[in-house]
Amino acid sequence: MNLVNNQELKNRIKNVAQANVPDVRARVLAQAPMPTPRRLPSFRLAFGGAFALIALIMFFVWPTATGVYATVHLDINPSIAIDLDESERVMDVRALNNDAQDLLDAIDLNGINAFDNLVDILIDEAIAQGMMTDDNPFIMVDITGRDEAFIHELYGRLSERIPAHAMARIPNVEVIRGSAEDARPDEVDRAHQHNMSVQRLRLIEAIIEKTDYDFETLRDMRVADLMHLAREHGIEPRGNRPDMTPGPPNRP
């Protein structure tokens, strides 16, 4: 009988062990379910995408949709619209006709945030360019906004500030105070359509009722010419009715 050396015996034992002892680790791994990637329900993905889109839109739209607290129209014949926030900081200044664009082109609006300062500068430039003179001393002021008390305070202040600022150069300056706060929706729509204040629209329509002038002729007239026509035919701008609310009275 042949003797088996130590190495051969070790090899036999190893082979027998591998054949009869199960590979527990391999079996466990084979039987364990494979992990699957987590998937969000489709409605969650759709909602998330829609929410992101809405947030993006609101980021760009919110300031313009909600930030304007009041809009002031200053009308000499340069017709200018000024958007203000709740603190009376100037948000935007818009030219509503060619004369107004010429006026604004001559002014560096950068850094002019205070409304009162802007009004002074606009009056100074209108006088310097000969747009506001002794023959054209009228300026119409019309204000729309969310807060009646805010609007009323602005009207009162401008009715005093503009004459005080221009009096030395235009002694007969007159502020024609509007009443856009009581405008009907159809009036506001027509004013926007014609790119003018409600006050100018009302004055033009009142003149048309009493004269043979047409809208196209009147729309580009200076405020002075409109006022002379109105007074010639006994027309009083609707905004100049007696002021029954507390505070400074209306001025013609």
- Is the per-residue pLDDT at 61 higher than 60? no
Please state, in angstroms and rounded to a whole number, the distance separating the CA atoms of residues 208 and 221.
13
Q: Which residue has the higher pLDDT, 217 or 29?
A: 217
Comparing 70-84, 151-165, 180-194, which segment has the lowest mean pLDDT?
180-194
| Residue 203: predicted pLDDT | 92
Percentage of the chain lying above the pLDDT 90 cut: 49
Q: Are 187 and 198 in contact (CB under 8 A)?
A: yes
Q: How confident is the prediction for the chain on average, in pLDDT?
A: 77
Q: Are 239 and 177 in contact (CB under 8 A)?
A: yes
CA separation (Å) from 86 to 23, 153, 190, 201, 223? Answer: 78, 13, 26, 27, 29
| Residue 184: predicted pLDDT | 82
Q: Are 176 and 163 in contact (CB under 8 A)?
A: no
Residue 142 identity: D
Model confidence band, residue 34 (pLDDT cutoffs 50, 70, 90):
low
Structure confidence by residue, pLDDT tens digits, 127-172: 999 999 998 899 999 998 888 899 999 999 999 999 999 999 999 9
Structure confidence by residue, pLDDT tens digits, 117-127: 999 999 999 99
Comparing 29-33, 168-172, 246-250, which segment has the lowest mean pLDDT?
246-250
Over its C-alpha atoms, the chain yields an Rg (Å, rounded) of 39
How many other CB atoms are there within 10 angstroms of residue 244's CB atom? 7
